[in-house]
Structure 1
């Protein structure tokens, strides 16, 4: 996966601001959807953790022309116990921070896992666009996350739903790592 770091602040915040403004046009044209069919699906990961999908956000068809799967993780500061439910409810307000980024197609929002980590599992159109988004988002997440808890993985050439249906597809792209927090093992 190589070294991961956020974009320089000015570039990251400009990208987030542009996304925020673009989101309003998408919402006005009714392009943003919140489908229910994947809610409550549980994803298991190679590190032994699992988390349930509590929301999906999709732009248009949700399908990318140049697909890649992006997985982002972070641990929130000061969010424990019942505060997790409050975060999940308020997180819908964070939609303008990602849906207007170039290349966004869909996101599964995962509740916290056994280690209090949240994940977003995305389908993105273009690996470079996914990487740019993840590095921009880092600046936003750093405001509310435990230092050192933010990470991401981009799996090029694979649709998110294909990876969930057949996790073995990743083997050809990324060598097996049983400790990989991002490696989807199963979806139920």
Structure 2
């Protein structure tokens, strides 16, 4: 994972706008689903934190042809204590900011961890598409996040659910950072 940075403002906001416009027909055709099977599952990460899945969003079957796992993290400004519950309820309204991006297949929404960081754990169709989405999303998240708290990791060739079942599948992408915030260690 090289240096991470957002897309240029204009390029990012055009991509977000196109996604927004694409999402509404998907919603109207009932292509976006909220499966319940993984809600409540807790994921532990190698940095010692853990978080509970509070929502899943999928498009169509939720499976990618060229799968990759994308993990995004951020820490919200001014959201503490009971405000976390409000954010989780409101976050459903953020669906138009990702579901229409090319390559989106599914997202696990994780509640804040012990360090108040939120994570999205996605299956994406194509690592380049996942990277473009993450770099576009950065501009949206920057409006509400603590400066320097936005990060992402793209793991090509690995389905998200396979990583959850067997975290060892991402060892080749782990580098020497044993405490990587994005590396799933186990599910509980």
Q: TM-score range by the shorter chain?
A: over 0.9
Counterpart residue number, 1:144: 144
SS at structure 2 position matched to 1:101: coil
The CA distance in 2 between the partners of 1:38 and 1:176, in whole Å, is 30
Counterpart residue number, 1:73: 73
Question: Number of paired residues?
Answer: 188
SS at structure 1 position matched to 2:61: coil
Deviation at 1:172, TM superposition (A): 2.6
The CA distance in 2 between the partners of 1:185 and 1:14, in whole Å, is 36
Alignment map for 1:160-171 (pairs within 5 Å) = 160-171=160-171
Q: Are residue 18 (structure 1) and residue 11 (structure 2) matched?
A: no
Residues 46 and 177 in structure 1, CA contact (< 8 A), matched pair in contact too: no
Q: Are residue 105 (structure 1) and residue 68 (structure 2) matched?
A: no
Name the Cα RMSD after superposition: 0.7
Counterpart residue number, 2:61: 61
Residues 174 and 180 in structure 2, CA contact (< 8 A), matched pair in contact too: no
Name structure 1 gaps, 5 residues minimum: none
Residues 174 and 183 in structure 2, CA contact (< 8 A), matched pair in contact too: no
Counterpart residue number, 2:154: 154
Give deviations 1:26-58, integer Å, cap 9, x for gaps: 001100000001000000000000000000000
Counterpart residue number, 1:46: 46
The CA distance in 1 between the partners of 2:42 and 2:174, in whole Å, is 22
The CA distance in 1 between the partners of 2:47 and 2:172, in whole Å, is 19
Name structure 2 gaps, 5 residues minimum: none
SS at structure 1 position matched to 2:180: coil
Residues 72 and 151 in structure 2, CA contact (< 8 A), matched pair in contact too: yes
Counterpart residue number, 1:4: 4
Residues 107 and 122 in structure 1, CA contact (< 8 A), matched pair in contact too: yes
Counterpart residue number, 1:126: 126
Deviation at 1:176, TM superposition (A): 5.0
Runs of 4+ in 1 over 6 A off after TM superposition: none
Task: Report the TM-score when normalising by structure 2.
Answer: 0.99
The CA distance in 2 between the partners of 1:108 and 1:35, in whole Å, is 10
Task: Report the TM-score when normalising by structure 1.
Answer: 0.99
The CA distance in 2 between the partners of 1:17 and 1:172, in whole Å, is 35
Give deviations 1:92-138, integer Å, cap 9, x for gaps: 00000000000000000000000000000000000000000000000
